[in-house]
């Protein structure tokens, strides 16, 4: 091959490459045509709709925002941190009771005790200056002299209440003639009847007499109805309604009788004390 013919060959080679490329493109276009022949040569497709963000309505958000946590007092954060540190330090000292671990826990505990002691001192001084917050002025006093005055005043109030109660209530006193405790308790009940004006109806379980109550009545079955298994026994009864409430068993003092009768006859006693309600036909006048 001569040098003169070389440019011609290069031109032919380039032309062949371009022709092959064009043929491939044409072939690809033809294949796409036969695949999509239903579209035709002059088809038109509407562009795909663009996704537009919907405008947010006033007062609405895209996602529910978590509720804002209320701000906590720094004292609470400090207290929880101190509490956690103390607990962890104690646990470490228990699991590994080395001198350093135990000392560290004891020092921290000493700080906590000091804080608590200071709080108690402040609370005590506030109570001294505020009668409504002073526990020594609420309810039963703790001072010996004040306690004596309180008991005396309470005795008088309860005595007046028993006098009013005696207008329609009586005390049932169950006894046995061979019971030494009944003989010892009988004079107390007799004095209680005379001092506070509430009638005591003595009922003999065994039918025997009792010197302090010569008008005692024999048991007519009421002891069995009230399940009296031990004497002496005292019940507060309201004969007109048949309501009977146990006061106690055994030998009781005058102050105990006053306290228990006042408690049983209180308006709220129905919800807290056992009562027995029966229709009674026991006459109160002497036979």
Residue 254 sits in a domain whose CATH number is 3.40.30.10
Residue 173's alpha-carbon distances to 9, 23, 71, 180, in angstroms, are 146, 131, 67, 15
Split at pLDDT 50, 70, 90, the class of 284 is very low
Residues 91 and 134 in one domain: yes
* pLDDT value at 277 more than 80: no
254 in any annotated domain? yes
Helix axes 144-165, 254-264, angle to 10 degrees: 60
* pLDDT value at 27 more than 50: yes
The alpha helices in the chain, defined as continuous H runs, are: 6-35, 74-95, 99-129, 144-165, 180-196, 222-225, 254-264
Residues 253 and 170 in one domain: yes
Closest CA relative to residue 109, chosen from 131, 88, 139, 129: 88
User: Given this model, what pLDDT does residue 147 score?
Assistant: 79
What's the number of domains the chain is made of?
2
287 in any annotated domain? no
Average the pLDDT over 213-227 and give the result.
Answer: 90
Residues 127 and 182 in one domain: no
Residues 163 and 120 in one domain: no
Q: Which domain holds residue 189?
A: 145-277
Residues 182 and 211 in one domain: yes
* pLDDT value at 89 more than 90: yes
Residues 171 and 266 in one domain: yes
Using one digit for the tens of pLDDT, what is the confidence trace for 130-187?
888 887 777 777 778 887 888 778 777 777 788 888 888 999 999 999 999 999 999 9
Residues 133 and 155 in one domain: no
Residues 261 and 169 in one domain: yes
Split at pLDDT 50, 70, 90, the class of 112 is very high
How many residues belong to the chain? 287
165 in any annotated domain? yes
């Amino acid at each position: 091959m001569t040098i003169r013919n070389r440019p011609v060959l290069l031109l032919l080679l380039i032309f062949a490459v371009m022709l092959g490329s064009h043929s491939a493109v044409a072939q690809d276009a033809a294949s796409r045509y036969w695949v999509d022949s239903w579209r035709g040569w002059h088809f038109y497709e509407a562009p795909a709709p663009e996704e537009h963000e919907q405008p947010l309505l006033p007062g609405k958000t895209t996602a529910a925002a978590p509720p804002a946590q209320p701000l906590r007092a720094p004292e609470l954060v400090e207290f929880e941190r101190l509490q956690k540190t103390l607990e962890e330090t104690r646990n470490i000292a228990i699991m590994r009771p080395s001198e350093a671990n135990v000392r560290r826990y004891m020092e921290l505990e000493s700080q906590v005790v000091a804080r608590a002691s200071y709080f108690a001192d402040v609370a005590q001084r506030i109570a001294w200056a505020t009668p409504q917050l002073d526990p020594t002025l609420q309810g039963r006093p703790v001072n010996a002299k004040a306690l004596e005055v309180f008991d005396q005043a309470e005795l008088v109030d309860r005595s007046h209440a028993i006098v009013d109660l005696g207008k329609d209530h009586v005390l049932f006193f169950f006894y046995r003639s061979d019971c030494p405790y009944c003989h010892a308790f009988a004079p107390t009940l007799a004095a209680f009847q005379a001092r506070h004006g509430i009638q005591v109806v003595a009922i003999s379980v065994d039918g025997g007499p009792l010197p302090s109550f010569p008008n005692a009545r024999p048991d007519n079955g009421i002891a069995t109805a009230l399940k009296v298994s031990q004497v002496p026994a005292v019940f507060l009864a309201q004969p007109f309604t048949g309501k009977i409430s146990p006061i106690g068993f055994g030998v009781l003092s005058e102050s105990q009788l006053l306290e228990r009768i006042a408690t049983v006859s209180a308006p709220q006693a129905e919800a807290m004390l056992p009562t027995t309600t029966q229709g009674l036909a026991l006459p109160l006048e002497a036979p």
